[in-house]
Amino acid sequence: MPKLDEASLRREPFSEGYAVELADGQRWVLPAVKMRFFPVKDDDGTFVLGAKPWFADQFEEELDMLFEVQHATFGQVWQARLRIASHLLQCNYNVTDRDVGHLLAYVPGDPTSEARWSKIREAILGRDPDAPDEDDADPKAPVTPSGSDSPSGVTESTAS
């Protein structure tokens, strides 16, 4: 397969987001997802601020699988990840389905592939894939496409 030129394949308008190295070794920008905020009860029964990515009601079932709201098999979780990542990639780039298949390839057990998909997963969930681990530092707040900061104190939720 000939090498793709990331810059020349950008769509207009191009949405800023998270640059993630894909299977071809180049950094491609997945658009920052909008976050949806809502009340959710915590373990004590108190309402707190919950959040999860929002795609204008697209991918509700897939997001529920990724946030473990709904029981899902390994295959269903991967199908959800692939559908959302493919959608985001094609929002910003004029790439064919075959290109998407090449760029988002996953090889179980391969450290490079595992690390790449860990970053893609973070971007899908509205988190900066290059942010330090929560154990190392404070996590960054999710970013909306407009670039404004999200409310502080947001907790990820498994309910909406």
Question: Is the pLDDT at 147 greater than 60, yes or no?
Answer: no
Give ∠ CA 72-129-37 in degrees, rounded to 5. Answer: 65
Q: Give the start-to-end residue ranges of the domains of the chain.
A: 14-131
User: What local confidence, expressed as pLDDT, does residue 27 receive?
Assistant: 97
CB 141 within 8 A of CB 132: no
User: pLDDT tens, 5-40?
Assistant: 999 999 999 988 999 999 999 999 998 877 777 788
User: What local confidence, expressed as pLDDT, does residue 129 receive?
Assistant: 92
pTM over 0.85: no
